[in-house]
Structure formats: structure tokens, C-alpha cells
Amino acid sequence: MAAITITPLSPCVGAEIGNIDLREPLSQDEVSTLKGALGKYCVLFFRDQPIDLAAHRRFAQYFGELHIHVGGEGTASKPDPNYPEARVQHFDRNSKRVSGEVWHTDQSCAAIPPMASILHQTIIPPDGGGDTLFASMYAAYDALSDRMKAFLTGLTATHDGNKLFDKGTKTVYPISSHPVIAVHPWTGKKLLYVNRGQTTHLNDIPREESDAILGFLFQHIENPEWQMRFHWREHSIAFWDNRCAQHRAIWDYWPNVRSGVRVQIKGTQPPIPA
């Protein structure tokens, strides 16, 4: 069998993986290749992969244990009745909202956030709707001035699930503090770890200063220079690293249907301070 191909899709983030069939078991060499590519490109894309949930779960388990969403009842996605770590993301004319309409990294409010997420789409809206934006937090960090990098290094921020998830549910959402500048455990590269969806304030500085700095950082993170926009097709898969990528779903397809399943991989440690 030909070797896996890796085709970068933008200068900063995203690569498409070819010569692979995720319906079949992977070799250790293939897993190592994908792990290296994930750390480098932040998000990997696979086309024409008509996998079932068993193959989806098996693929995720090559990279770690499976993660159960900390948002519980407060999310637009719902757990699969047989596998709670699998979340069904089905949105149609009856949906009041969809998952991920604000820039975020998945469940940063958790003490140990999920390491990665793998989304398989099976029903795609017509006319090009339902794209997902991805951004590199390596590039966002690198583009900061040296003085801003020095100021942010050593700071922590509070990430609160109550900011993002539904109010009035029985779920108690986690609240955690994480470094503003973190280091990726696989690559050793520094990255920016705050997000508009769940970060509420910087710790140990006045709230007015925190609001101003976070406002700048959120706007900086959303700069299109370190983004890419992924156009889904039926049986496309996106596999993103929550430590170094942020993403945002585009809900431009109502009342049409977009439907898929996401499985997440447990983190093994909290974000590492730079």
C-alpha cells in the first residue's frame, strides 16, 4: 500500500491526508505519521471515509482514551444512546442553535480538556453551507510582539463552562484556570490558550485591564491570516488538536440539514505553562 500523503491546505493550519482508509485498522507507522502531522498542522482532514461508529471509535482510540463531554445537558449535540463519548451533531429546521458558533477550543473549562476531537459528517447542506473555520494558536502566539509575549507569560486565565453552555440545566459546568501561554507537549511550540467561548478573565489583574487585554487577544486570535475554512463533503472527517487549534462552526444553512458524529480523545494533562 502507498504511504500516507500529507498536503498542507494553508501556510499556518490544516492538512489533507490521502492514501488511507479509516474503515481498516491502522499500522503503528501510520498512527505515528498522523500524530506528527496533527501536532504540526493542528487539524487534519480526510475525504471519502464512509466509516461506522465502531471504526470512528477505533480510530480515536489509537491516540488515547475516549472523552465524555463535560457540557452534559447544556449542549446542542446529544450523546449517542449506546456510547456516551460519541456526540450526535444533527441540526435542521427545528434547531434553535448549533454547536460551536463562537471561536473556541473544546471544553477548555475542564481541568484537563480533551486532547483532540474527530468529527465525521454524513449529511451536508446544499449550496456550500455549514463550513468550519480553524485557526492556529501557534501562529497567533508567534505574531504577538515580544513585549506582549513577555507580559502574558506566567499569567493564567479562568475558563468557565457557564459562559458557553446552556443555562438552567442540571449539569454543573466546570471552572478551571489555565496558562495564557502554553507549550504543546508533543512539539514544544508555544501557543495562545484563551478563547472567546469560555475564557472569562485573566487572573490576578484588575477586571478592567483583563477585559481590555482579552478583547485584544480574542480579536487577534480571529485574524484570517492564520485561519482556514474547511468545506465539508459527505463522509469528510476533521481531526483537530484542541491544544493548538481553535474552531468556529458556520450556521448558514438553516433550514437545511447537517448531520454527523463527533468523538473526542481524553487529555492526559492540563495545559503546560510556557
Residues annotated as catalytic are 104, 106, 247, 262
- Name the one residue in this structure whose C-alpha cell is 493542528: 42
Q: In 189-257, where do the E strands start and end?
A: 190-192, 199-202, 227-230, 236-241, 245-249
Measured over the CA atoms of residue 140, residue 142, residue 143 and residue 147, the dihedral's sign is: positive
- In angstroms, the Cα distances linking 122 to 23, 208, 221, 236, 237 are 15, 45, 30, 8, 9
d(CA 83, CA 55): 13
CB of 133 closer than 8 Å to CB of 250: yes
d(CA 242, CA 70): 15
